[in-house]
Structure 1
């Protein structure tokens, strides 16, 4: 009865990791003749492991990644201009801590979104807040936010994310309000947050596709400064292998209007 009360008390105190491990640890402690200090120490480790695991689940859920990609699963066999050295550098957290930008360009189906999601997965597992958004959905959400008065709040929310992934930028030339929003996002994140952007449009064509020369200068200057540039080439990887549907993942990324916790 006392053990059940202890477990109930641990749960009431929201020490769920300790509560889950208590009975098992108690049995092993008796067998190993552990001291009270060692027994409590193991329970503390169990609680930390539980909290770390819960935080990781929350970070991955809030990231809304399009697919469960991983850096270690990247296919280098198909020649597409992907440097192992570049990906090795991105396999450390220095670029995130340095608030750098990663620009991934190339034709449709070459694996841009996969690389972006792999970087997002890596960042979340390293403990950073991540948010994946397709550019069309991003601009649509910001336009809706203008209408309901939450535009500034939405921009502030994007600025707080430690790694923001914008997929499929410049599928079409930007409208006036889209380039204004893009400038605000880029300005808020410049030297303050890491950003990954994918685009079918070559970087050399970004300026005319953004539109207004003054705004295009400001946007490109901030995006290109100290950025990693990955230019993929070759045939579509989707055409070379059958696509595998991924359940429980939203196509098109997150809806900013969702109550996504970025803390």
Structure 2
């Protein structure tokens, strides 16, 4: 009976951590189509799924073209992290900047960074999809610098590191962010076709086969 009570409590705690993580959707690694992404090493993913990288304040960087499932992977790793007992906070790069910009405008920047640091894993999705001005780049740098060797970050980007200067309008700031992110990190450079492209091809093939 005690074991059941402990299991029920752990399940409720995990449910609460998933809720406070603010995932756009709850997706799991078990639901990810690994066959679609042969460039993803299964052994590396299995190791990351244990959540041990969070306990070591290490990062995970997912680089690759749009549509291959990087957001799904980031959410799935986040869910695994909550199940391992760690707190997670998820958002897009654009929303992170909006959040920090509002905090700075209201004079509570340090308090906001401290609040974010309480989460063991911060997930920053879609870096590179929208360009930022230098002011936003400085905010983003503060976010990364505040977590350096203090907490983990998962970052997804459609751009290689060599093009981050384009996104942040400043090669020096981009280089400083990259330096802190990759110092203790697993960097996964992924290749593959977009899920939507593949599904469109499959539908067209079925349509042609039906007409034939």
TM-score by length of 1: 0.70
TM-superposition CA deviations, 1:20-67 (whole Å, max 9, x none): xxxxxxxxxxxxxxxxxxxxxx3x444433322221111010011122
**Residue number in structure 2 paired with 1:55:** 13
Residue number among 112, 117, 124 corresponding to 2:82 in the alignment: 124
CA distance in 2, matches of 1:203, 1:217: 8
Confirm whether residue 139 of structure 1 aligns to residue 93 of structure 2.
no
Residue number among 109, 112, 118 corresponding to 1:151 in the alignment: 109
Once the two structures are superposed, the pairs formed by residues 57-136 of structure 1 within 5 Å of their partners are 57-136=15-94
Once the two structures are superposed, the pairs formed by residues 1-263 of structure 1 within 5 Å of their partners are 42=1, 44-241=2-199
CA RMSD of aligned residues (A): 1.9
CA distance in 1, matches of 2:137, 2:38: 30
Structure 2: tracts of 5 or more residues without a match: 201-212
Q: What SS does the aligned partner of 1:168 have? A: strand
Give the count of matched residue pairs. 200
For the Cα contact (< 8 Å) 2:54–2:151, is it kept in 1?
Answer: yes
TM-superposition CA deviations, 1:178-218 (whole Å, max 9, x none): 21111111111111111100011112212443333432232
Compute the displacement of 1:240 (Å): 2.7
**Residue number in structure 2 paired with 1:26:** none
Larger CA Rg, structure 1 vs 2: 1
Query: In the superposition, relative to structure 1, how do residues 60 and 168 fare at CA in structure 2: closer, same or farther (>3 Å)?
Result: same
TM-score by length of 2: 0.86
CA distance in 1, matches of 2:67, 2:11: 33
Large movers: runs of 4+ above 3 Å? 44-47
For the Cα contact (< 8 Å) 2:89–2:122, is it kept in 1?
Answer: yes
CA distance in 1, matches of 2:75, 2:61: 13
Greater mean alpha carbon deviation, residues 116-125 or residues 136-145: 136-145
For the Cα contact (< 8 Å) 1:183–1:219, is it kept in 2?
Answer: yes
For the Cα contact (< 8 Å) 1:186–1:222, is it kept in 2?
Answer: yes
For the Cα contact (< 8 Å) 2:94–2:130, is it kept in 1?
Answer: no
CA distance in 2, matches of 1:45, 1:191: 35
